[in-house]
Amino acid sequence: MPYRQTLSSIVGMLNRNDISSVELVQCFLNRIEEHSELNAFISVDAEEALKQARLSDEARARGSINSLSGIPIAHKDIFCTTAMATTCGSRMLKDFVSPYNATIVELLSKGGAILIGKTNMDEFAMGSSTETSWFGPTRNPWHKDHVPGGSSGGSAAAVAARLVPAATGTDTGGSIRQPAAFCGLTGLKPSYGRISRYGMIAYASSLDQGGPITQTAEDAARVLQIMAGFDKRDATSSNREVPNYLDHLQDPIAGLRIGVPRNFVDDAVHPEVVGAIHNSLKEFEKRGAKLVEISLPSCNAAIPCYYVIAPAEASSNLSRFDGIRYGYRTDSFDDLDELYKKTRGEGFGLEVKRRIMIGTFALSTGYYDAYYRKAQQIRRLISNEFESAFKKCDYIAGPTSPTTAFGLGEKTNDPVSMYLSDIFTISANLSGIPAISIPVGFDNRGLPIGLQLIGRSFDEQGLLNLAHSYQQVTHWHQEIPTEFS
Amino acid sequence: MPITKSAVQHIANLARIRIETTDIEQYTVDLSRILELFQQMDSMEVDDKEPLAHPQDIELRLRDDVVTEPEIRQKLQSVAPKIHQGLYSVPKIIE
Amino acid sequence: MTWETVIGLEVHVQLCTKSKIFSGAGTMFGAEPNTQACEVDIALPGVLPVMNKEAALMAVKFGIAIGANVNRRSIFSRKNYFYPDLPKGYQISQYELPIVSGGSVDINTPNGNKTIRITRAHLEEDAGKLTHQKKNNSSGVDLNRAGTPLLEVVSEPDLRSPSEAIAYLRKIHTLVRYLEICDGNMQEGSFRCDANISVRPQGDKQYGTRCELKNLNSFRNIDKSLNFEINRHIDILKSNGTIVQETRLYDADNDLTRPMRSKEEAHDYRYFPDPDLPPLVISDVLFAETQASIPELPDLRYKRFMSVYHLNEKDAEFLTSDRNIADYFEQVVSICGDSRKSANWITGELLHHINQNGLDIKSSNIDAQMLGELIQKINDKTISGKIAKGVFDEMWHGEGNASSIIEKNKLGQISNTTIVEEAIDQVIENHSAQVQQYLAGQNKVFGFLVGKVMQVTAGKANPQLVNQILQHKLGEKDGVPD
Residue A130 maps to which CATH number?
3.90.1300.10
ipTM of the complex: 0.97
Residue A225 lies in a domain: yes
Give the residue from C97, C115, C105, C96 showing the smallest Cα distance to C68. Answer: C105
Residue B83 lies in a domain: no
Catalytic residue list contains A391: no
Reported as half-sphere exposure (CB side, CA atoms, 13 A), residue C441 has a value of: 0
Is residue A81 within 8 angstroms of chain B, CB to CB? Answer: no
Kind and range of the H or E element at A337? helix A336-347
C-alpha distances out from residue A435 to A284, A458, A462, Å: 17, 10, 10
Catalytic residue list contains A76: yes
Are C367 and C330 within 8 A, CB to CB?
no
Residue A333 lies in a domain: no
Amino acid at A422: D
Task: Give the whole-angstrom CA distance, residue B52 versus residue C388.
Answer: 71
Q: Which domain holds residue A475?
A: 2-256+393-484
Beta bridge partner(s), residue C247: C212
- pLDDT value of residue A351: 96
Task: Give the whole-angstrom CA distance, residue A256 versus residue C439.
Answer: 121
In A345-371, which positions are buried (b, 16+ CB within 10 angstroms) versus exposed (e)?
A: bbbbbebbbbbbbbbbbbbbeebbeeb
Task: Give the DSSP letter of residue A210.
Answer: E
Nearest to A232 among C44, C50, C89 (CB): C50
Task: Give the whole-angstrom CA distance, residue C477 versus residue B92.
Answer: 89
Beta bridge partner(s), residue A398: A452
- Residues 6 or more apart whose CB falls under 8 angstroms from that of C148 comprise C14, C15, C20, C21, C27, C125, C126
Which positions in chain C touch B84 (Cβ < 8 Å)?
133, 136, 138, 140
**A-contacting chains (≥3 CB pairs under 8 Å):** B, C
- pLDDT value of residue C482: 46
**B-contacting chains (≥3 CB pairs under 8 Å):** A, C
Are A259 and A215 within 8 A, CB to CB?
no
Nearest to C270 among A93, A199, A360 (CB): A360
Structural domain tally of chain A?
1
Q: Coil, strand, or helix at residue C106?
A: strand
- Residues 6 or more apart whose CB falls under 8 angstroms from that of C436 comprise none
Percent with pLDDT over 90 in chain C: 73
> Active-site residue among A56, A151, A152, A280?
A151
- Residues 6 or more apart whose CB falls under 8 angstroms from that of C359 comprise C365
Name the residue in chain A with its Cα closest to that of C277.
A235
Name the residue in chain B with its Cα closest to that of A348.
B17
Task: Give the whole-angstrom CA distance, residue C202 versus residue C262.
Answer: 33
Is residue A233 within 8 angstroms of chain B, CB to CB? Answer: no
Digitized pLDDT (tens) for each residue of chain A, 485 residues in all: 899 999 999 999 999 999 999 999 999 999 999 999 999 999 999 999 999 999 999 999 999 999 999 999 999 999 999 999 999 999 999 999 999 999 999 999 999 999 999 999 999 999 999 999 999 999 999 999 999 999 999 999 999 999 999 999 999 999 999 999 999 999 999 999 999 999 999 999 999 999 999 999 999 999 999 999 999 999 999 999 999 999 999 999 999 999 999 877 777 899 999 999 999 999 999 999 999 999 998 888 999 999 999 999 999 999 999 999 999 999 999 999 999 999 999 999 999 999 999 999 999 999 999 999 999 999 999 999 999 999 999 999 999 999 999 999 999 888 888 888 899 999 999 999 999 999 999 999 999 999 999 999 999 999 999 999 999 999 999 999 999 99
- pLDDT value of residue C354: 93
**C-contacting chains (≥3 CB pairs under 8 Å):** A, B
Cβ atoms < 10 Å from Cβ of B23:
15
Residue B53 lies in a domain: no
Are A211 and A180 within 8 A, CB to CB?
no
Q: Which of B6, B10, B26, B30 to mutate against chain A (most A CBs within 10 Å)?
A: B30
Cβ atoms < 10 Å from Cβ of A148:
36
Q: Coil, strand, or helix at residue B33?
A: helix
Residue A348 lies in a domain: no
- pLDDT value of residue A447: 98
- pLDDT value of residue C263: 57
Residue A370 lies in a domain: no
Nearest to C89 among A197, A205, A322 (CB): A322
Which positions in chain C touch B68 (Cβ < 8 Å)?
19, 24
Test C78 with A325 for CB contact under 8 angstroms. Answer: no
Is residue A360 within 8 angstroms of chain B, CB to CB? Answer: yes
C-alpha distances out from residue A120 to A27, A153, A414, Å: 21, 7, 22
- Rounded to 5 degrees, what angle do the CA atoms A346, A349, A351 make? 145
Residue B23 lies in a domain: yes
Give the residue from C267, C204, C257 showing the smallest Cα distance to C229. Answer: C257
Roughly how many angstroms between the first and final C-alpha of chain B, as a whole number? Answer: 39
pLDDT tier at C137, thresholds 50, 70, 90:
confident
Report CA C427 to chain centroid distance, whole Å: 51
Task: Give the whole-angstrom CA distance, residue C327 versus residue C371.
Answer: 13
Amino acid at A282: K
Which positions in chain B touch A377 (Cβ < 8 Å)?
46, 49-52
Is residue B60 within 8 angstroms of chain A, CB to CB? Answer: yes
The CATH number for B15's domain is: 1.10.20
pLDDT tier at B95, thresholds 50, 70, 90:
low
Domains of chain C: 3-285 (no CATH), 296-409 (no CATH), 417-478 (1.10.10.410)
Min Cα distance C282 → chain A (Å) is 16
**Mean pLDDT along residues C256-262:** 83
Residue A381 lies in a domain: no
Structural domain tally of chain B?
1
Residue A415 lies in a domain: yes
Task: Give the whole-angstrom CA distance, residue C54 versus residue C21.
Answer: 9
Q: At C264, phi and psi to the nearest 5? A: -60, -40
Q: Coil, strand, or helix at residue A83?
A: coil
Residue A134 lies in a domain: yes
Nearest to A100 among C39, C84, C275 (CB): C39
Task: Give the whole-angstrom CA distance, residue C472 versus residue A123.
Answer: 105
Residue A53 lies in a domain: yes
Is residue A356 within 8 angstroms of chain B, CB to CB? Answer: yes
**Mean pLDDT along residues C58-69:** 98
Residue B80 lies in a domain: no
Min Cα distance A90 → chain C (Å) is 13
Residue B29 lies in a domain: yes
Residue B21 lies in a domain: yes
Task: Give the whole-angstrom CA distance, residue B80 versus residue B84.
Answer: 11
Are A285 and A473 within 8 A, CB to CB?
no
Catalytic residue list contains A280: no
Min Cα distance A386 → chain B (Å) is 12
Residue C261 scores a pLDDT above 80:
no
Give the residue from A96, A100, A99, A154 showing the smallest Cα distance to A125. Answer: A154
Cβ atoms < 10 Å from Cβ of C125:
24
Angle between helices C53-65 and C162-178 (to 10 degrees): 130
> Active-site residue among A20, A76, A155, A298?
A76
Residue B87 lies in a domain: no
Q: Which domain holds residue B9?
A: 5-41
